[in-house]
Chains A and B, each alone.
Chain A
């Protein structure tokens, strides 16, 4: 059994104010193992940032414990700060310093030689090097994010805590960013990352779905997809709005939601693809229906609606 990089147990956090305060975290537990990319997947407002900030020792939970690389987040915050690299969701480096100066500054503050650190981040830094004299405030979104990653890595942390690192970043840079994270894993850095994007979830080793401050499920993406209990039909063509209306009115679908340019249907027990086709012929014109493999998004929607029905 591997030791854990981030282990949280029954975390609760309620922010005061805002109408009596709904819980941002409502009994969250998970265990991210050393050397894996652990993804926290959930919509905006699910409590991801709160959880990340607790892991980064920036706030204390109301109850529950967080253990980062074996240290208690409440008591040993100083030690934890030396061994984690934290990248907040909002770009938070000095915009009036250059790339080079930002990296040098964080190296010095953490007490490492810049040269040692540079080796560690070489792959990323190579892409930034042509612009090293440019002020951080004048960089594009993708470059800012790479610079932030450099600064978070410069002191050779054991665990990277990344709060929505790819929000507002173009698709190519996002791909690149995840390639970099895969490489981090190779040199033995554990990664705790939060994201609202399902396509990124698939690139994690293990993920935890989070919604309204509760963890819905924790497992590897493959296992989660494999465990999806129902069939999925995919309908495409025609007008999305009418399609969804017809499906929801038909009584055949347990749920139906748009999925890119098509729509996914979770059929009710016993409903066959022919029934669906027949029903839709009358109402929504030209389209095709076929069975499709379940995706992580289907799993999340299913888990989330189950949770909502219960509460």
Chain B
């Protein structure tokens, strides 16, 4: 057992003697947490809205004013024909065209009924969809405001929908993305360091010397992995500190539970990196293989896009993705304050991944290259 300690001591010497590595460990979580939440921002603002007002009446001006006052829209007025303005949508400078036809006011006053046209550029589906629904709700609001005065409206029964957003009441997308970025960070650091771990000893030839030393396979692997695990936990700690300092995000649930999940999850994801390291014969191969897998793991984990919007078959595949479970767990702990009993399924799934991947990692570790 004392040998294990010496092996770990050696690993830490490698890490801290490297000029680049310690900086990387601190810089990566800070930089990623400062940049990514802004980049992966799903709030839709500044939708370019072109208003073509053919009615030029008091009511049409009121509607246009209401729309352009909204913070969602960057509104401008167009005088040209609809067809001409439509070229703006084609070349991407306009997201939505709102055309108020002639006789808009008259229709409203006389028959309490009138129509407007909304054309939406749906190349960016999220922006288009949200833009159309924002515009729709503003117009509804406008029309109900009109009839609020009239007696007819007072008689008519109305169903009003009031939304209460649970867990993230201000729909702050950072509260949603930052916990996921913590997971992203520990996966990246833990995975890539493990993937490079064994293969770098192979490349340097030092593997050859260790192979004739009386050190068992499991002990050698464990000694290589332990420092990576420590680094992963350190990255998590730094990451949580940054998310509190910069975004004021603090887990509603228990810190210890986050550490517990991260601790087990890291062993699973590091085992995955280790398997890549074992089968690669150069660091270059290991990095390429790791990049390929991590893209799939991260994009299919629900970090950036909700799992529920994926097709059914893709959702089934995500069941085989360990990242999915930890993202669910960390988000639930951060936002909902979930306890262990709420996350039992995720916890056991991660444990199972860890057991299977680690077993395979040790089995796939070969002493000699031939």
Chain A residues near B (Cβ < 8 Å): 15, 53, 56-59, 78, 81-82, 84, 86, 88, 90-97, 101, 105-106, 108-111, 151
Contacts of A110 in B (CB 8 A): 213-214
Chain A proximity mask over B200-216: 1 for CB below 8 Å, otherwise 0 = 00001111110111110
- A selection of 24 A-B contacts at a CB cut-off of 8 Å is A15-B370, A53-B368, A59-B368, A78-B214, A81-B213, A81-B214, A86-B209, A88-B205, A88-B208, A92-B204, A92-B205, A92-B208, A94-B206, A96-B17, A105-B6, A106-B209, A108-B2, A108-B6, A109-B7, A109-B214, A110-B214, A111-B3, A111-B214, A151-B209
- What size tier do the contact residues of chain B reach? 20 to 34
Residues of B within 8 A of A95 (CB): 204
Residues of A within 8 A of B3 (CB): 108-109, 111
- How many Å lie between the Cα of A287 and that of B117 in the bound state? 107
B214 partner, pick from A15, A82, A91, A105, beta carbons under 8 A: A82
Judged by DSSP, the binding face of A is loop
Residues on the B chain within 8 Å of A56, using CB? 212
A sample of 10 more A-B contacts (CB under 8 A), given A92-B205, A94-B204, A105-B10, is A58-B208, A58-B211, A88-B208, A88-B209, A92-B207, A92-B209, A93-B206, A95-B204, A96-B17, A101-B13
Contact partners of A92 in chain B: CB under 8 A: 204-209
A90 touches B14 (CB 8 A): no
Q: How far apart sit A43 and B127, CA to CA, in the bound complex (Å)? A: 71
B79 at the interface (CB under 8 A from A): no
Interface string of B1-16 (1 = CB under 8 A from A): 0110011001001100
In the bound complex, how far is the Cα of B14 from the Cα of A94, in angstroms?
Answer: 9
A91 with B13: CB separation less than 8 A: no
Task: Kindly provide the distance from the CB of B22 to the nearest chain A CB, expressed in whole angstroms.
Answer: 13
Collect the chain B residues with CB atoms within 8 Å of residue A97's CB: 10, 13, 17
- The residue from B14, B208, B212 contacting A84, defined by CB atoms under 8 A apart: B212
Task: Give, as a whole number of angstroms, the nearest-CB distance from B198 to chain A.
Answer: 15
Q: Which residue of B lies closest to A57 (CB)?
A: B212
Write out the residue numbers on chain A whose beta carbons fall within 8 Å of the beta carbon of B367. Answer: 58
Interface-central residue, A57, A58, A81, A91, by most chain B CB under 10 Å? A58
Known: A96-B18, A97-B13. A90 touches B205 (CB 8 A): yes
CB pair B205 A91 closer than 8 Å: yes
